[in-house]
A and B are shown apart, each in its own frame.
Chain A
Amino acid sequence: MGLSVELKDVSVQYGSFQALKGVSLFVEGGEGLVLLGPSGSGKSTLLRTIAGLITPTRGRVYIGGRDVTELPPDRRGVSMVFQDLALFPHLDVFENVAFGLRIRKVPDDEVRRKVRWALELVRLDPDLFLKRRVHELSGGQQQRVALARALVVEPEVLLLDEPFSHVDLDIKNRLLEELKILHSKLGFTLIYVTHDRFEAVEIGDRIALMKEGEMVQVGKPIELYKKPKNRFVAEFFGEANIVPTSALGLGEKGYAVIRPEDVVIGGNATYKLKGQVVDVTFLWHYLKVEIQSNGHIYKAYVDLETPVSVGDVVEFGWDVRDVYVVEE
């Protein structure tokens, strides 16, 4: 079972730039948590602080309840997969994966056994790959070696910093699927950094959404989607129609969040508007329709059979119970 990870009021300052502004977070042992946010939001800084690569200017870091704030990375017992993988270019696949075991002075025959075990975990045939040089491998294979290298030491906590950002979508999806299986099979605590919300929902039991060095909202994907804390969460975590409440007669301050799948065209809506269709896009299992009304573009995901085309003037709307109001 993985160890819990906790950050208490962690700040990181680079000169005059504050990369983290008093962030607190609790990740349960064995949980899969995704740190999500746009670039510059501090999510990588947070991950590196957990790893011990950055010492916070203020605040404490706990792993398994133990205060590790002052401990160097080699004494924290976590594993990490880097965005650029950081494989050792002078070593072959075997020695790359074996690195952590060699440091731990594991006997040779056990090193061989464990390296094979780790390569099999990530679905690389040991007999084919052990002696290969890392630069001879494809991007996806290098990803697998990096993952095997992190897993071979059987970490309690696995940190991943946008690990699959350099591979094709197909391979990325397969790797995500496999990572998920490994996570539930091996039970480590998984903390995964990404800027991609699709990746985030694939892997995360919970999602911690960050912006400009602050933790904006932490929760299950459905909580962030259905009850976004503010306009930023509503926009970043899924498609949304965001309209000032004043425009809909819902009060002076705040914004109404209406998800495109809740918008209906011509059907029975309790709130109705009229507008002109400006764009229709085929998206496999639905149509994405953009409707202009009162100077605002509304997005609607509708059934493929819906008879709309660009230029149509349509009546559209939503059930008022599907409107979620945020204050800022």
Chain B
Amino acid sequence: MRVLRIYTWALIAAMYVPIGVVVVLSFNNSKLPYVWGGFTLRWYQALFGWDLAWQAVLNSTVIALGVALLSTLLGLFMAYTLRGDRYIAFSQGAVVMPEVSEALAFAAALSLLKDYANVNLFGPVGVFLAHLAYTLPMAHVLMAPYVSYVGRNVVEAARILGASELRTVLSVIAPILFPAFIATFLIVFANSFDTYIKTAFTTSPDFITAPILLWNYAARGRGDPTIYALASLMLIPSIAAAVIYFRAVKRYS
């Protein structure tokens, strides 16, 4: 048991310490990662003047907002329609599918479209669709337990008390599901905002998202602390999503 505990903490450390290091380096007044030159905000200042980074963050945000809204709405409808149905297994399967092969299949499909139908979707549309293909089943799986939490009887009780179908949706189902909706929206947003692989396979050279930009710089060994600043800022939506998610979900206990 003791060994397991050490292992668990070591694993958590291995996951989070590098992220911490990046955040620390984004405030380091030195270009060398192994020298602490004192605290500074100048990398953040540099970031604010860097148009390409702004464009990338904006692109990521727009894609993630669209993907999150659409997949949460559709995921809710799917969860409602397929509640108690065995088809939920397909959705769950889709969520755990290997990211690379899924992205590859998507890229192949887009290539076929481009070569044989002369429809070029590489770029924002391709990225949007590739993200949606992954986040839709994810939203479905996240929403499903809350939809079944609403319960058939609550809906029936409202109907018998005189509520029309529309009124039941507005006065009963929607308010009960609202926190779950927000929680799912945030998780999907963070996922779409963060993902690199699916974007890399489906974007065009002129459509850069924040993770693509990070990769372009970081993977080529250009250890510019401005990149650390961008990476640190990108943590904010993810952390916010995680915190709000757990708070929202608590309401169902």
- A contacts, CB < 8 Å to B: 51-53, 72-74, 76, 78-80, 82-90, 99-100, 102-104, 149, 153
Cross-interface CB contact of B162 among A82, A90, A104, cutoff 8 Å: A104
B99 interface hit (Cβ, 8 Å): no
Mostly helix, strand, loop or mixed at chain A's interface? loop
Q: Chain B: which residue is nearest A79 at the CB level?
A: B160
CB within 8 A of A53: which of B159, B163, B176?
B159
Q: In this complex, what residue of B is CB-closest to A146?
A: B157
Query: Contacts A84-B151, A88-B172 given: A74-B163 contact, CB under 8 Å?
Result: yes
Mask of B138-178 contacts with A, CB within 8 angstroms, 1/0:
00000000000001011011111111100100011001100
A103 & B157 in contact (Cβ 8 Å cutoff)? no
How many Å lie between the Cα of A76 and that of B134 in the bound state? 45
Instruction: Say which residue of A76, A82, A104, A153 sits within 8 Å of B157 (CB atoms).
Output: A82
Total A-B residue contacts, Cβ distance less than 8 Å: 64
Q: In the bound complex, how far is the Cα of B157 from the Cα of A173, in angstroms?
A: 24
Residues on B with beta carbons closer than 8 Å to the beta carbon of A87: 154, 157
Q: A74-B159, A104-B162 are in contact. List 12 more A-B contacts (CB 8 A).
A: A51-B160, A53-B160, A74-B163, A76-B160, A82-B157, A83-B153, A88-B157, A88-B158, A89-B154, A90-B172, A90-B176, A102-B171
Cβ–Cβ contact A86 & B156, under 8 A: yes
Contact indicator A103/B160 (Cβ below 8 Å): no
User: A90 contacts B153, CB within 8 Å?
Assistant: no
**Would you call B161 and A79 a contact (CB within 8 A)?**
yes
Beta-carbon nearest neighbor of A72 in chain B: B159
Q: Select from chain A the residue with minimum beta-carbon distance to B174.
A: A90
**B residues neighboring A (CB under 8 Å):** 151, 153-154, 156-164, 167, 171-172, 175-176
**Nearest-CB distance from B156 to chain A (Å)?**
5
**Contact (Cβ within 8 A) B151 A74:** no
Return the chain A residue nearest B253 by Cβ: A135
Give the residues in chain B near A88, CB-CB below 8 Å.
154, 157-158, 172, 176
**Chain B contact surface mostly:** helix
Q: How far is the CA of A79 from the CA of B160 in the complex (A)?
A: 6
Smallest CB gap from B252: residue in A: A89
Q: Which residue of A lies closest to B179 (CB)?
A: A90
Q: Identify 9 residue pairs between A and B in the complex whose beta-carbon atoms are under 8 Å apart, listed by A's number.
A: A74-B159, A74-B161, A79-B160, A82-B153, A86-B157, A88-B157, A90-B175, A100-B162, A149-B157
The reply to whether A74 and B156 contact each other, CB–CB distance below 8 Å, is no
Contact A73 B176 (CB under 8 A): no
What A residues does B158 contact at CB under 8 A?
A: 88, 99
With contact pairs A86-B151, A86-B154, A88-B154 given, residues A80 and B160 touching in the complex (Cβ less than 8 Å): yes
Contact assessment for B153 and A103 in the assembled complex, using a CB-CB cutoff below 8 Å: no
Query: How long is the Cα–Cα vector from A149 to B157 in the complex, in angstroms?
Result: 10
How many angstroms from the CA of A224 to the CA of B218 in the assembled complex? 84
Which of A72, A78, A88 has the most B CB atoms < 10 Å from its CB? A88
Contact call B156/A73, Cβ cutoff below 8 A: yes
Across the interface, B159 reaches (CB within 8 A) one of A73, A83, A85, A153, namely A73
Q: Which residues of A contact B176 (CB under 8 A)?
A: 88-90
Q: Which residues of A contact B163 (CB under 8 A)?
A: 74, 99, 103
Are A73 and B160 neighbours in the complex by a CB distance under 8 Å?
yes
A73 vs B152: C-alpha distance in the bound complex, in angstroms? 14
**A78 neighbours in B (Cβ, 8 Å):** 160
The minimal Cβ–Cβ distance linking B185 to chain A, given in whole angstroms, is 18
Q: Which of B151, B154, B156, B167 contacts A103 (CB 8 A)?
A: B167
B161 contacts which chain A residues (CB < 8 A)?
Answer: 74, 79, 99-100, 103, 149, 153
Residues of the B chain whose Cβ atoms lie less than 8 Å from the Cβ of A83: 153
